[in-house]
Amino acid sequence: MSITLDQVTKRYQGSPVVNDVSLDIGDGEFFVLLGPSGSGKSTLLRAIAGLAGVDHGRIALHGRDVTHVSAKERGVGLVFQNYALFRHMTVADNIEFALRVRRMKAAERRQRRQELLRLVSLEGMDERLPAQLSGGQQQRVAVARALAHKPEVLLLDEPFGALDAKIREELRRTIRQVQRELGITTVLVTHDQEEAFALADRIGVMNLGRLLEIGQPQELYARPATRFVATFLGAANLILARQTRDGIRFGKTAVNASAAGPLQGAREHEVVAVVRPEEVEIAPTREDLVSGYLTRGAVEEIVFTGALERMRIRIQDDQEAAPLSNGNGSGSAFLEVTRTQHEQRAFQIATGQHVAIGVRRIHILPTPLSSFTTCATTDALAEALVQQPLLAELASRMKTRISTRVEPKLGMPGADCEGAPEFSGTTVIAAHSDVVYQAQWLLKMGAEEILVLPQNASPPQRVLIHWADEAVRRATLAVAASILRHVSAEAIYIGILPQQTPVAQRPHGMRALLDARSEAQAVHGLEMRTELRFGDVSNELARQLGDMAGQMLILGIRGHADLAERFGSLFAESRWPVLIVHRQHESPAGQAGQLYQAGQA
């Protein structure tokens, strides 16, 4: 491995800008770190270069631990967005800078310089000053300069940011060519997904300081695991659907899925479907569709972009399907569609026209958190809970919807629920002293995830994770990973053994802890810290939560009968948000995203 990052964390004024990032980059690999501005990608690159220290974790280059080695000694080449050329030196002097520092002989320096100038096709420019070169040429000089001392690793920080489109493409090609020719391990930071696709062997997508997903470009585009990656890599329509035994159902419409995957869990449940704009089919009538019918809509807007036609279609019957978002976070009842010239010629469309909509390909996100439903005894209370800041923030970051549900007999022993028999997504209730009985009641009625919210809770700084039964480990981790992708918080798994655990049993507890950590990392892409405690579970958790403000608990349980008995004290004070993850049975292993080819029924 050329670059190994192990749980690298960097904090700025207390909050993590790089949050527990672990990553292996192979020899000669071209790795692209992709993320919006402020996602921590540049900070991570600077940490690899040695220009920013890390608060936690280790960095190794070619097996050598360089965590505490200065940038000067690391032997990396770094290229900056604004070139950072020494303006008072000629091109030749800029390129020879690293060689001069190393006291190389003049003749050798000149020879190396000629080599490098040829590599970046700038022969004969030796005596120019940076100010006499164009932006693209300056960046070529910067690349040559960064390669002069034969670094083991080349790091590029938004190298094309300051260039216009044409030059950008040309320089992109040069850099890819140079990288192939030298076989040098390269990490490039960018916010431009097209650039990432064009250059990368593998892409790592970052958001809020976390490395969300790593994979080959095609793989990430076709099968993203998270909402963020789905919408950040290209456009995507996120649609709430139900997974049933027969396949995927949007509202009343069942999309005939030819390759239905195994049903997650024992019962049907709500899922988040990704439909790429180019996978949407438009036809005059339902009968004309080649692919599976989804719904009907009216064309709201058409934009001609050259090769493609881009349009927004307003979904007509809200009952039939409920799109979450078009990927830009705006509008909720819209579908984003792109069509090729070929498709345009086959069926010409004008604004305002009514069309039938079909989907060729659906990808189901493996996230267990689909949508939120606030639940209270009256409509007003349920509505008020929708405004709760943490909930509103979570829903907006997850680009999902919050619906309401009124249960007049909420928490009453023996009473039945009055709403629909099925519970969609996460049920949210307001915290108060007796909330644990309401939670227990909801679990009995079939809710699987319950979020208990104190009135003033805000996005947490720290998320504690605990499960009371190993059978719900996977489900709890999946929920935790999903939450932590959308908040900038540290994740800590708390394992608790009874006080009187015999010493011989303790290593077993440690093993369980490490297993949990590696599963979180391998299956859910979640990096978390682990802590082992001894004592009463409820007391220990309460003590940890009381330690500092801004904490949240994710609690996995199996069976709801003894919730109040075992964990009642955690809810009594209603000082922190608690997300209860309840599963009656162990979840099956195959939880990766599923792809459906939809065919005509």
Partner 1 sequence: MAAIRQPSVLPGFGLTFGFTTFFLSAVVLLPLAALVLMAASMTWHDFVHVVFSARAMGSYRLSFGASFLAASINLVFGFIIAWTLVRYEFPGRKLIDALIDMPFALPTAVSGIALTTVFAENGWIGQYLQPLGIKVAYTWIGVTVALTLIGLPFAVRSVQPALLEVQRDLEDAAETLGAGRLYVFRRIILPTVLPALLTGFTLAFARAVGEYGSVIFIAGNLPMKTEITPLLIVIRLEEFDYKGAAALGFVMLVISFVVLLMINLLQAWGRRRIVAGAR
Kindly list the residues in this chain that would bind partner 1 in the complex (CB under 8 A). Answer: 46, 49-51, 70-78, 80, 82, 84, 86-89, 93, 97-98, 101-102, 129, 142, 145-146, 148-149
Considering beta carbons, is residue 74 or 276 the nearer one to partner 1? 74
- Residues 6 or more apart from 111 whose CB is under 8 A from it? none
Residue with tokens 């039945």: 416
Considering beta carbons, is residue 82 or 353 the nearer one to partner 1? 82
Residue 52: strand, helix, or coil: coil
Considering beta carbons, is residue 74 or 583 the nearer one to partner 1? 74
Minimum Å gap between C-beta 264 and partner 1 is 47
Q: Find, among 78, 60, 80, the residue nearest to 68 by Cα.
A: 60
Minimum Å gap between C-beta 360 and partner 1 is 47
Give how far Cα 277 sits from Cα of 242, 293, 334, 562, 571, Å: 20, 15, 11, 47, 44
Considering beta carbons, is residue 126 or 309 the nearer one to partner 1? 126
Q: Distance (Å, rounded) from C-alpha 243 to C-alpha 333?
A: 21
- For the CA atoms of 422, 423, 425, 426, the dihedral, rounded to the nearest 10 degrees, stands at -170
Give how far Cα 192 sits from Cα of 37, 68, 337, 530, Å: 10, 32, 21, 35
Minimum Å gap between C-beta 455 and partner 1 is 36
Minimum Å gap between C-beta 77 and partner 1 is 7
What secondary structure letter does DSSP report for 526? -
Considering beta carbons, is residue 109 or 172 the nearer one to partner 1? 109
Considering beta carbons, is residue 187 or 357 the nearer one to partner 1? 187
Q: Identify each DSSP E strand in 305-400 by its residue range.
A: 308-315, 322-325, 334-340, 354-359, 361-364, 372-376
| ∠ CA 493-496-499, rounded to 5° | 160
Minimum Å gap between C-beta 206 and partner 1 is 21
Q: Are strands 202-207 and 210-215 parallel, antiparallel or unpaired?
A: antiparallel
Considering beta carbons, is residue 80 or 571 the nearer one to partner 1? 80
DSSP annotation string for 430-460: E--TTHHHHHHHHHHHT--EEEEE-TT--S-
Task: Check if the beta carbon of residue 312 is closer than 8 Å to that of residue 273.
Answer: no
Considering beta carbons, is residue 90 or 332 the nearer one to partner 1? 90
- Residues 6 or more apart from 7 whose CB is under 8 A from it? 20, 21, 22, 56, 57, 58, 527
Minimum Å gap between C-beta 47 and partner 1 is 13
Minimum Å gap between C-beta 92 and partner 1 is 8
Considering beta carbons, is residue 80 or 423 the nearer one to partner 1? 80
Minimum Å gap between C-beta 56 and partner 1 is 22
Q: Distance (Å, rounded) from C-alpha 601 to C-alpha 593?
A: 23
Minimum Å gap between C-beta 53 and partner 1 is 13
